[in-house]
Chain A
Amino acid sequence: MIRLSPQRVMASQTASTFGVARSNKVASRQELPRFSGLTGNNAHSLGERLLRHFDFREAGVSHVNQIQIIYASCILWRLIAANERRKASPSKSWNEIRESALRDSLGYAFWFFGTPLLQRAYLQMATRNNPDLRKALIQRNPDAKDFSTLKGILKAINPLTSLNIPTSEQVKDQMEQALHDLRQTGARSTDKEFLTTEQYYKELMKHRNLATGLGLFSTILLLGIGINFLNFYLTQKNVERRNTAQHKPLFPSLPSLPKLSNPFSPPTPQQIAPSFQYPVMPLTPPVA
């Protein structure tokens, strides 16, 4: 190890902390180990910021931030693979890409944003007549009141940032603390004051858990089942339309009509069958 006088150590440390470049002379005279300064908190380099965002909070347990980026790239891979298959398949159909885009992007949005929104909505509704429960379960964020900047306005109108709710774990801990304090005063678990307090906190827990349950239930209903009906229906319609238009068997397929299989612009009847005409209404109603 290279010996270094403490004074110089302090000097270089202070210099790097305050962002002052050390003179080249010192660096060239001797290859000194330099100091990282305050690596974690004061550092603002992109690498450090990304590291702090995506780091494991506990060893070997994925963090939500990591899951977000992995899930997003997984969706991207699915779209890329679907596109490869579209190009290689004889039908050149966009059905799979549309299905994947709908299903996965909705899944992502719902998983990370929809469920918290639903929970807030449920807690707003469920506690609207009960002020004792309400303030303990849902509160306006005191920081989200700045209407002077665009960022502040967005923060204030977004329910995810402007409304705070506690987690189930926090409610559980609040209950444990309250009951522990009561036990310290000499109350036993069969005393009336103990039961009253316990009942109040159980009410809180019930609402918080029901909010979570509602999120789970709506995930199953919308993303597990509902989205399938939509996707299957759209694809089926698309395949039927293509078969009608071509008057040919679907497989092995001949060049398809790319316009027809674009999910976002449904074709006009004339595109499908050029000889198609809308039926003309008779001028006088038919006499019964």
Chain B
Amino acid sequence: MGRLKSGLLGSNGGMPDCDVMEASPVHFYSPNPVLTRKAAPHPPRFQGAGEAISSVVGAIDSNRLIELMVSDGIGFVLPRSTMALSIRGADDGRETFLREFFGLVGNVLLAGWAGNTMLKMLGNSVNPYNPHGIPGNAWISAENMGAFQKLYNKALASSSGHEEARRNFIQYVLGGLESGDRDFSIESRLASLKKLGEQQPEQRKALGQMLETTYGKEEARKHLETYQQLLKAGNLQGLQDKLKARWGKLSKDSQGQLALYFNHKKPGDITIKGINRFDEQAEQLLREQERSLTEEASQSRLSPEAFRQKAFARQRLSLSISELNHHEEAFTKAADHEALIRGLTGTVNLRDGDELLCKNQSRRTMLKQMKHFLEQFVDRATHAVEKEHPQIRDWGKKQALIQRKLYAKSSAGWRKLIPNLQDGLVTAAMKSKTAYTWVPIGFSIAAAGAFTFYNMYLTTKKHGGKIFFPGEGVPPVEGTKPLNNSPFSIGPQASKLPSTSIYRNFGNFPGFPQLRNSNGGIIA
């Protein structure tokens, strides 16, 4: 076992010892990377079979969908259809290939595609299913929506103005985030700190920086002394216990830095225009087109107020969509990286005090959806209230109106299920989610059924209406018509597979029973 392990995972990967060869002048100018390996400043990339496999798997593993597709494609589709084709013949080969290939597409991808199509159809315009004109790409999952709602209500109750409520909300979310792997991350960091043990100044410096990230600059100075004493005594357990309370969360400094992104002060000049930028821009545009809009309104069947609302929603939607298309990627990337280097790893939980609101969410998704919640719901509701009731000064009343804009629910008759203008923004979004979730799933399930039957029908059609399971062998045909053995063509006229086909020879696995028909002949 030891030898195997060193061969598979060993540090030099079975290469000859380099010192001996480097000493020889014959090899001095050789470009062989093995010889120059020791002189290189970086450790070598590939140190053996283990490392090679690891790097390939790492590339696959970086994306969840790619991982599923690869494990399905290489694991199921290829080997199964090759074996079926070679051992059981064309009919079962084709059936297996189509079945497994549909399994790959239908199970893993189809629901996503269907969902995307629905969002493109319904989320890019103001229509009866999207009355408020919330862009489909500003997606917020139901779980996150619930959590954000809860935290925003808390922020509303604990503040004295909508700007403060917004700030508090951002602070609650950022303060409630914690890495999903805090325990692992703290262990690995302390182990790597231990490895620096021989070089004392480096270790102390690393510890200092670690505290700075965890506590923030000011607070870290207070704690530094205690931690250094613990480290000096070699008390890693004590260090860990003390760190655990704060590890894997954003410090106050970091929260402030990250909050800048959501107050539209970063990155660069993209979002400097203020928090109500969509609403203000849309109103500006409407004011410019006022004359033509008045004409249109007089011709339409809607009341002037309703027409104005619809025109505003349309204008705002197109502004948000263009922002999403152009700046979303850059924003998410920047904010995500900021969160990463400030101590949040890829998967995060969201807590409100002790209560766990969301579990195992992607950090990137969480930040992106928080931005959507602020832009499409909070800012919009606030702006509408400010616009419609400029005379109200009392924050309690305003607060109630903002909540009404967000959560009002019309539940008379058919309106219970379908979003409409009477609904608040959040309620309408939650109602529309019903279709966005169940239609793609239902479609995928129905497609799976239809395709399974169609796959069997193909075999039947090819054999003139005979119904049979091709895994048991193909029934002999009455009369003299030749069998069609080509895997992908339908109908009895197609030519047979040539006898030189490689698939014929793959069938001869040693010790494996050959498929025979009733007369004792081998079925190809």
Contact = CB atoms under 8 A, between A and B. Distances in A.
Interface of A: 1, 4, 6-7, 9-10, 13, 31, 33-43, 47-48, 51-52, 54-62, 64, 66-67, 69-71, 73-74, 77-78, 80-82, 84-86, 88-91, 93, 95-96, 99, 107, 111, 132-133, 135-137, 139, 164, 166-174, 176-178, 180-182, 184-187, 190, 192-193, 195-202, 204-206, 209-210, 212-213, 215-216, 219-220, 223-225, 228-229, 231-233, 235-237, 239-240, 243, 248-252
Contacts of A220: 74-75, 79
Contact of A201 (B87, B188, B365): B188
Contact of A70 (B106, B142, B409): B106
B142 A55 contact: yes
A193 B206 contact: yes
Given A167-B347, A210-B54, A233-B513, A10 B445 contact: no
A39 B146 contact: yes
Interface in B189-221: 189, 191-192, 194-196, 199, 202-203, 205-206, 208-210, 212-213
B422 A91 contact: no
5 pairs of A and B residues whose beta carbons are closest in the complex: A40-B146, A251-B475, A60-B116, A224-B79, A249-B518
Contacts of B423: 33
Contacts of B112: 56, 60-62
A41 B149 contact: yes
Nearest to A190: B41
Interface in B392-407: 396-397, 400-401, 403-404, 407
28 contacts: A6-B396, A35-B404, A51-B437, A55-B141, A58-B141, A59-B115, A59-B136, A67-B68, A70-B441, A73-B448, A74-B106, A74-B448, A78-B99, A91-B469, A95-B469, A133-B191, A135-B187, A167-B346, A170-B184, A173-B345, A173-B346, A176-B341, A184-B212, A196-B196, A212-B67, A220-B75, A228-B83, A251-B468
Nearest to A47: B434
A109 B459 CA distance: 29
A228 B149 CA distance: 51
A111 B57 CA distance: 17
B142 A40 contact: yes
A81 B453 CA distance: 6
A132 B68 contact: no
B181 A174 contact: yes
Per DSSP, are chain B's interface residues mostly helix, strand or loop, or mixed? Answer: helix
Contact of B401 (A9, A59, A93, A182): A9
Contacts of A172: 58, 346
A85 B188 contact: no
B192 to A, nearest CB: 5
B339 to A, nearest CB: 10
Interface in B27-58: 41-43, 50-51, 53-58
Interface residues of B, number: 140
B427 interface: yes
A62 B430 contact: no
B517 interface: yes
Contacts of A237: 513
A181 B202 CA distance: 12
Interface in B154-203: 179-181, 183-185, 187-189, 191-192, 194-196, 199, 202-203
Contacts of A250: 472-473, 475, 517-518
A185 B206 contact: yes
A9 B400 contact: yes
Contact of A39 (B99, B212, B341, B407): B407
A62 B109 contact: yes
Per DSSP, are chain A's interface residues mostly helix, strand or loop, or mixed? Answer: helix
Contact of B437 (A37, A56, A216, A243): A56
Contacts of B410: 33-34
B490 interface: no
Contact of A174 (B184, B412, B515): B184
A126 B75 CA distance: 24
Contacts of A199: 43
B16 interface: no
Contacts of A200: 188, 191-192, 195
User: For B136, B184, B202, which residue has the most chain A Cβ atoms within 10 angstroms?
Assistant: B184
A213 to B, nearest CB: 4
A169 B346 contact: yes
B108 A62 contact: yes
A197 to B, nearest CB: 5
Contacts of B404: 4, 9, 35
Given A185-B208, A225-B79, 8 more contacts: A57-B362, A59-B116, A95-B471, A136-B187, A177-B345, A212-B57, A228-B83, A251-B476
B456 A81 contact: yes
A40 B143 contact: yes
Interface in B420-473: 421-424, 426-427, 430, 433-434, 436-438, 440-441, 444-445, 448-449, 452-453, 456, 467-469, 471-473
B2 to A, nearest CB: 11
B340 A70 contact: no
A11 to B, nearest CB: 10
A49 to B, nearest CB: 10
Nearest to B471: A235
B88 interface: yes
Nearest to B204: A185
Contacts of A80: 449
Contacts of A204: 188
A10 B185 CA distance: 45
A195 B40 CA distance: 12
B435 to A, nearest CB: 11
A211 to B, nearest CB: 9
A167 B64 CA distance: 11
Contact of B407 (A13, A31, A249): A13
A41 B146 contact: yes
Contacts of A96: 469, 471
Contact of B441 (A66, A190, A233): A66
A95 B473 CA distance: 12
A96 B116 CA distance: 36
B78 to A, nearest CB: 7
B445 A174 contact: no
B188 A136 contact: yes
B183 A58 contact: no
Contacts of B452: 74, 77-78, 81
Nearest to A137: B184
B189 A174 contact: yes
B219 to A, nearest CB: 16
Contacts of A182: 206, 209
Given A52-B143, A59-B139, A169-B62, A177 B343 contact: yes
